[in-house]
Structure 1
Amino acid sequence: MSLTDQIEAHLRGFASPPYLFVGSGIARRYLGLENWKGLLEKQCELHDLDYGFLSSSANGDLPALASAMAKEFHQKWWKEKKYKDSRDQFSKQASNDESALKFEIAKYITSAGTVTKDAGLLAELELFKQVVVDGIVTTNWDGLLEALFPDYKIYVGQEELLFAQIQGIGEIYKIHGSYDDPNSLVLTSSDYNEFHRRNPYLASKLLTFFVENPIVFLGYSLTDKNILDIIHSVLNCLSPRNVEKLADRLIFVQWDRYSTEDRFERTILSNDGRSLPVFQVTTFDMATVLAALTKIKRRIPAKILRILKQQVFDLVHTTTPNERVYVKDIDDSTDVSAIEVAIGVGIQERLRDKGYTAISRPDIVRDVLFNDGGYLADVIVRDTLPELLKKTPYVPVFKYLQAAQGTPKWDASQIGPRVTKASKKAISDFRPTSVGRRTADAIAAYSKDFASYAKQSDPEMVVNYAGLLPEKALKPQQLHEFLTQNISLMGSPKTNVATNFYKLVCMYDVLKFGSL
């Protein structure tokens, strides 16, 4: 039996699809980023810090090393001319003397985390997009998973996960923070102290996944202390009898380039004197593992399940069902914008409005470009945009603000502070960053229009640089044609391409709908 068949057969024995725990090995494999130690060493190189001295002073403790680096770098970042652009971009977000290093790491991940060009690895990424899982937990900071699963809702950091009403399906939990919110990064000793202080609360949130789903660990070493601490925090919540059941649910995948045969076998996890039997997969071909994860059957797509679960939860907790039940078959072709027709309990309008908080940024972008979402503009402004703007400033808002003003019951007081702030943005707020000054100046001096510029380069290059064109060159109709023809770039695993695509959509939104 092949490794793919062995994994599939094992996972078929559980009632629910697996959860993925994704670690730094995945970022190294597909984005070319370093592991944590390598990343710190690279930052010392980039910022003229003495890695040897700082590392030896920290006695091999990586959070302590990061703390020492942050302290030494703090003054350099605020004083030296070479960091002026960074200060212009981030200074208002600085909260302490560790922020500067986090800002530079976030910028580095954005620019250096480019998707592999290896044909075999690209084929693996195509399989990765098709895996069937209930959700993903990751300690990675990059944006690869968001690009692979654009319909999943993202929760960043412990605090957001702890205080959110998570649904447990179609969601990504970035428990160590994210590159697009630099202050959220769990990097230094103080960050880890706070993370460990909250570990019991995090474990209580993750407990449901561990007892209801098999868990597949990708990109982690069997000796990774961070993940071992989380696992054993969960164990502390279980009786010895249930710990034995958990052992069948944990599968660690180890990629070994020198392996001559695939193996699916038992091994032991040890941490602080405690041991737990788990399954270990060893392979030189990750495609065999990913292929097994694509074979899991699910009758309803995860995105739709998440919306339905959230709506039912909201109805149970906010109203008494007293009218009709609507039922309709749901599959991959179901129009999510019509989800209120698919299932409803109680008052249909309330169900519909609650569902608007589950609309994703890709949904909004498609509606801005194709005008086919059928959304209520006032509800988008009131419920959807504030949620999306919590995560990122790159969300188009003007289309909905303009349309909302024409609705019968429109009340300007419905505009929340995040949407108000977004409504004041201009083209300059969405220019690409991390572009060399000479290149930026050359593009800014371009004398022709967007369409002419777009003909000179491949679509990815256009997305990454066209936002630097003079505003008069950015013709809305030309932008619209390009964006609709290249909509697939919104889901690019290259974080810079995906981010700049969203920025270009925001520019189109400003130009087309910005006259409020």
Structure 2
Amino acid sequence: MAEAAAATAVEEPKQSRYERYVEEITEDITNTLQEYGCQPILFVGSGLTKRYMGAPSWEELLGYLAVKCSSIDKKLVFYKQLLKDPIRIGEEFARLYQEWAWGAGHNEFPKEMFEEDIGAQSYIKYMIAAHLRALNPGNAKGLSADHQQEIEALAKIRPHAIITTNYDEMLEMIFPDHQRIIGQQILKGQHFSIGELYKIHGCVSDHDSIVFTEKDYEDFLKRKKFLSAKLLTFFSEHPLVFVGYNAGDPNIRAILSDIDEALPEKGGIIPNVYILQWDPSLKDDSWPARDKVIPTDGDRSVRVKLISASDFNWVFDAFAANPILNNVNTRVLRSLIARSYELVRHDIPKMKVEADFKMLTSAVQDSESFAKLFGIANINDYSKAGAQHPYSLTEVSKALGRNTWHFAGNLIDAVTETTGVNIRKSDNRYHRGERVNKTTFHKYSDEAIELLRKVRDGEDYKLDLGVAEK
């Protein structure tokens, strides 16, 4: 069926099972980024702030609050036995904190908190904010020295937007150019869905915004429709990455339940949703699961992609490998989109256009950069070699009549098994690898499509790697 020519076999170092897993997951991420042609959306949970800032988990926070307040005269386990649900425990603790504030704990709070218009649950939220602010290292360089490379790799992702249920300000330190939008501010004003940090459960900068008690969650669910609509827009247009959450976290289940409602087909894996899970037990011979079934509402469930890692560097590098935004400031991009929006909304009907060309000139140097600033440049154009190898693996699959990159990937694997030559391991007439940060983008030529067409159709083919043009 196949004949290999001009393909000198080079003995490659043997990979461990986990190294092979890392390689395949990285390829999946880069192909998904190429398919969507845009930056991912990050969903960040408390596990990441615990990793980088030593912030408490929900149960650890309840434990701290129980010790701090003398009106809570029993250990946390008593309230867990009695109330079961952490949110209901939060409700009871809020009542006891108000009682404490008006008695033995009076000096723990500023005098303005004893006015009539102060909410009964403000006292526990004030204490939560004070506790988390005390952990704040001041800037991203002050975060965990053990994970500084991970933090720098995370910052390079330049996410389209970030959504978090965390109260602390760690993400503001890592992504200083993102615009913070807290709690009910999501329902107000104009949001441009680029370079924004949505703190949907509140922030320590405004302790009353914190969603902590049973009443808070009831209020949050009542105004969740706008957020759900935004999430569905994000889902349809971007890769989504959950990090710092346990797969069974109720926040993940609620978000995926909204996504599940919009899925055209039930039961299949959602191709653009990833959950990054920390697993310190991974070894060279580990081969983690590639997907996860997560229950949503009722008896429904969804399947999403699962990434297991004890070191997040390689995962963040893969999601950061979009060359279009390497030199684009998120704040400038958001500002320019805002100005464009105002022109369309106000100026054009009045036949009046005002443009700050000095700002535009300083922001971009030529037409290509201008296109990149608007996010309309194609990811295929990041290298001049794109003229010879213009296709992503997804585009190769589509040229062969399928919609996902896996089809073409399986055909390449079939070539490797038949000839002993992996065309993805070198630059050649079929394939070129472009290095961005620490991640390789794989691009393919028309000759690759023709080769894989023959493999698909069971025709004879001659493999000739030739020499990739520089």
Taking structure 2 as the reference length, the TM-score comes to 0.65
2:250 matched to 1:222? no
2:260 matched to 1:232? no
Inter-partner Cα distance in structure 2 for 1:201 and 1:307 = 23
Displacement of 1:200: 2.6
2:154 matched to 1:128? yes
Q: How does 1:74-93 map to 2 (within 5 A)?
A: 74-80=98-104, 82-88=105-111, 90-91=113-114
Inter-partner Cα distance in structure 1 for 2:78 and 2:238 = 45
Alignment counterpart, residue 21 of structure 1, candidates 36, 39, 43: 43
2:129 matched to 1:101? no
Inter-partner Cα distance in structure 2 for 1:123 and 1:229 = 32
Alignment counterpart, residue 58 of structure 2, candidates 22, 36, 45: 36
CA separation of 1:191 and 1:328: change in aligned 2, threshold 3 A: same
Secondary structure of 1:251 counterpart? strand
CA separation of 1:268 and 1:156: change in aligned 2, threshold 3 A: same
Determine if contact 1:22/1:218 at 8 Å carries over to the other structure. Answer: yes
Alignment counterpart, residue 301 of structure 2, candidates 268, 275, 289: 275
Determine if contact 2:268/2:303 at 8 Å carries over to the other structure. Answer: no
CA separation of 1:207 and 1:164: change in aligned 2, threshold 3 A: farther
Gaps of 5+ in 2: 1-19, 365-369, 372-470
2:84 matched to 1:55? no
CA separation of 1:326 and 1:262: change in aligned 2, threshold 3 A: farther
Determine if contact 1:301/1:331 at 8 Å carries over to the other structure. Answer: no
- State the match for 2:281 in structure 1: 258
Inter-partner Cα distance in structure 1 for 2:162 and 2:220 = 19
- State the match for 2:194 in structure 1: 169
Determine if contact 1:33/1:113 at 8 Å carries over to the other structure. Answer: no
Inter-partner Cα distance in structure 2 for 1:160 and 1:333 = 32
Larger of the two Rg values belongs to structure: 2
AA aligned to 1:248 is P
- State the match for 1:391 in structure 2: none
Inter-partner Cα distance in structure 2 for 1:256 and 1:85 = 40
Determine if contact 2:101/2:108 at 8 Å carries over to the other structure. Answer: no
CA separation of 1:146 and 1:13: change in aligned 2, threshold 3 A: same
Determine if contact 2:94/2:124 at 8 Å carries over to the other structure. Answer: yes
Alignment counterpart, residue 178 of structure 1, candidates 182, 200, 203: 203
CA separation of 1:171 and 1:255: change in aligned 2, threshold 3 A: same
- State the match for 1:146 in structure 2: 172
AA aligned to 1:22 is V
Inter-partner Cα distance in structure 1 for 2:255 and 2:108 = 38
Q: How does 1:403-442 map to 2 (within 5 A)?
A: none
2:272 matched to 1:249? yes
Inter-partner Cα distance in structure 2 for 1:332 and 1:220 = 42
Secondary structure of 1:20 counterpart? strand
Inter-partner Cα distance in structure 1 for 2:361 and 2:174 = 17
Secondary structure of 1:248 counterpart? strand
- State the match for 2:441 in structure 1: none
Inter-partner Cα distance in structure 2 for 1:331 and 1:4 = 36
CA separation of 1:93 and 1:6: change in aligned 2, threshold 3 A: farther
Displacement of 1:91: 4.3
- State the match for 2:363 in structure 1: 334
Alignment counterpart, residue 315 of structure 1, candidates 323, 343, 352: 343
- State the match for 1:490 in structure 2: none
- Cα distance per residue 1:59-89 (max 9 Å; x no partner): x201100000111121111222x54252336
CA separation of 1:101 and 1:22: change in aligned 2, threshold 3 A: same
Displacement of 1:324: 6.3
CA separation of 1:244 and 1:324: change in aligned 2, threshold 3 A: farther
Inter-partner Cα distance in structure 2 for 1:295 and 1:309 = 23
CA separation of 1:210 and 1:325: change in aligned 2, threshold 3 A: same
- Cα distance per residue 1:122-172 (max 9 Å; x no partner): 221122222221010000000000111111111000x21122321111100
Inter-partner Cα distance in structure 2 for 1:129 and 1:93 = 44
Determine if contact 2:347/2:353 at 8 Å carries over to the other structure. Answer: no
Inter-partner Cα distance in structure 1 for 2:267 and 2:358 = 39
Q: Which has the higher helix share?
A: 1
CA separation of 1:244 and 1:15: change in aligned 2, threshold 3 A: farther
- Cα distance per residue 1:13-46 (max 9 Å; x no partner): 2122100000010111011111112111111012
CA separation of 1:263 and 1:143: change in aligned 2, threshold 3 A: same
Determine if contact 1:170/1:303 at 8 Å carries over to the other structure. Answer: yes
Inter-partner Cα distance in structure 2 for 1:67 and 1:39 = 14
AA aligned to 1:276 is V
Gaps of 5+ in 1: 336-341, 344-516
Judge which range, 192-201 or 129-138, deviates more. 192-201
Determine if contact 1:162/1:205 at 8 Å carries over to the other structure. Answer: no
Taking structure 1 as the reference length, the TM-score comes to 0.59
Inter-partner Cα distance in structure 2 for 1:331 and 1:312 = 12
Determine if contact 1:170/1:306 at 8 Å carries over to the other structure. Answer: yes
2:72 matched to 1:46? no
Secondary structure of 2:323 counterpart? coil
- Cα distance per residue 1:332-381 (max 9 Å; x no partner): 9739xxxxxx89xxxxxxxxxxxxxxxxxxxxxxxxxxxxxxxxxxxxxx
AA aligned to 2:320 is T
Displacement of 1:326: 6.2
Determine if contact 1:204/1:234 at 8 Å carries over to the other structure. Answer: no
Secondary structure of 1:319 counterpart? helix
The aligned length equals: 333
AA aligned to 1:100 is Y
Inter-partner Cα distance in structure 1 for 2:295 and 2:172 = 32
CA separation of 1:289 and 1:29: change in aligned 2, threshold 3 A: same
Higher relative contact order (CA 8 A, sep 6+): 2
Displacement of 1:121: 0.8
2:96 matched to 1:72? yes
Displacement of 1:224: 0.8
CA separation of 1:305 and 1:118: change in aligned 2, threshold 3 A: closer
Alignment RMSD: 3.0
Inter-partner Cα distance in structure 2 for 1:301 and 1:264 = 36
Q: How does 1:355-374 map to 2 (within 5 A)?
A: none
Identity %: 27
Determine if contact 1:199/1:230 at 8 Å carries over to the other structure. Answer: no
CA separation of 1:94 and 1:57: change in aligned 2, threshold 3 A: farther
Inter-partner Cα distance in structure 2 for 1:168 and 1:118 = 30
